[in-house]
Structure 1
Amino acid sequence: MFGVRLIELDFQYSHPKRDISLFVKFPEFLEKANAAFIGVKVFQDLKILFNNTTKEDTKTFIALSLLCGKLVPTVGRSDNRRKHKDEKRSSKDSPEQKKYNKPTILESRDRLTLHVKTQSDIQNCLATRRDIHLKKGLTCQPVVICIEPDVENITEFYVYFDDVTYQLESLLKAVDICFKTFHVFDIKYPRESIQPWMFIQWYFYEIHTPQDHTFPSVATLIADLM
């Protein structure tokens, strides 16, 4: 796991005192999840499971799913050309290179935490994703992957990036490493899940950059959780 450690060290150097922020604040976030997501109409089965499980990784997965349901994707911009895999978060696109689409909530969730049932499903899902993104002129950013037939028993967690797969000990650790990968390599968040990732950046890590997008829904949710 030398690659993971390098990512952690690079992030700690760039953002001192932010390296464990997610782990410090996430338990409080879980306690407030029911109230924060009371109006979310999707993932109703997961909301029931959230209140009937004591498994930390399951609760984390459900809370992140509901976060995507709360921060509903808006119309986004999609390039008509293929970009380099290391697309920078600060890069600017010309109007003629953009078109508009609206991701679904499920697409948003899958770009934040992708749940597959078996190990063999990973490569199939990633290959399909690469093909879709190539057709749209997009790149494949880092993604968290959970493996288990059902959400209640998820036990395997990975971060996939640039043809490398890192296995982590928990879902929260996988989200932490995925987030740090975005920032260490200066990569844009996926358009489908940009709002959940911006929430994670602002609320948990308290990191603000000149390149940040402004989302009133994210700011409102953060204010409600304070």
Structure 2
Amino acid sequence: MIIYQCMLNGRQHRDLFALLNDDTVSQGVRDVLILTLLPALHPPVARVKKGKGFWRPTIVESMNGFIRHMKTLSDLQPEIDRRIEQMNQLKQRVQTYIIIVGPELMSIQNLYVIIDNTIYYMESILKAVNICFKICHALHARYPVKSEQIWLLLQKCIYNMKTT
């Protein structure tokens, strides 16, 4: 655990990681914390052509591209619209992604899987990740560019699947 903690950049990431050692944290919250921190431990490598140059997502963009945390339910639709606009600017399709809603990561109230502009309520973060993964494969869709490295990590290490 110490090795991973040293790999984390930024105090906020280290503070979230420290919560994993708190015995009062529920397993559901631990799952959210672990999955939220994955992009900080496995930074993005994807590059997308943007104009004459390239755009590479930051760790924070990758975290938000994998699991987006919103504080209130009223932020949900504006976030979906913002993501669609951002992907249109990059000439990319909006892929399946996860939004969690709650005042903080320790008190998530709702979890959603978003496909284009359709919102599906999920019971747990693990179910949301599982559904997103299966949807990508069932539809032969690409992983979201912001979090592609995380989906590939899950594909290889959790689902034991190889692609060519």
Deviates more, 1:173-182 or 1:48-57: 48-57
Alignment partner, residue 47 of structure 1: 17
Give 1:78 shift: 3.4
By how many angstroms is 1:196 displaced?
Answer: 0.7
- Shift in alpha-carbon separation, 1:150–1:179, aligned structure 2, 3 A: same
Preserved CA contact (<8 Å) 1:37 1:67: no
Q: Which residue of 2 aligns with 1:219?
A: none
1:115-154 per-position Cα deviation (integer Å, ceiling 9, x unaligned): 1011111101111111111111111100011010111011
1:78/1:138 contact within 8 Å kept? no
Contact 2:45 2:56 in 1 (8 A): yes
Distance 1:166 1:75, change over 3 A: closer
Structure 1 letter corresponding to 2:128: A
CA contact (8 A) 1:156 1:167 kept: yes
Question: Conserved in 2, the CA contact under 8 Å of 1:144 and 1:157?
Answer: yes
Equivalent runs, 1:128-167 vs 2, <5 Å: 128-167=82-121
Larger radius of gyration: 1
**Counterpart residue number, 1:201:** 155
Q: Secondary structure at the match of 1:187?
A: coil
Pairwise CA RMSD:
1.8
The gaps in structure 2 that reach 5 residues or longer are: none
Aligned to 1:90: none
Map 1:1-226 → 2, pairs under 5 A: 34=1, 37-38=4-5, 39-42=7-10, 43-52=13-22, 53-74=24-45, 76-78=47-49, 99-210=53-164
AA aligned opposite 2:8: V
Q: Secondary structure at the match of 1:37?
A: helix
Give a deviation string over 1:83-135, Cα, whole Å, max 9, x none.
Answer: xxxxxxxxxxxxxxx85112111110111111101111110111111111111
**In 2, Cα distance between the equivalents of 1:76 and 1:174?**
26
SS of 1:66's partner is helix
- % same residue: 31
Cα pair 1:37 1:66 within 8 Å, conserved: no
Aligned residue pairs, count = 160
* Contact 2:32–2:125 (Cα < 8 Å) also in 1: yes
With structure 1 as the length reference, what TM-score do the two structures score?
A: 0.66
Give 1:74 deviation, angstroms: 2.6
The CA deviation at 1:65 is: 2.3
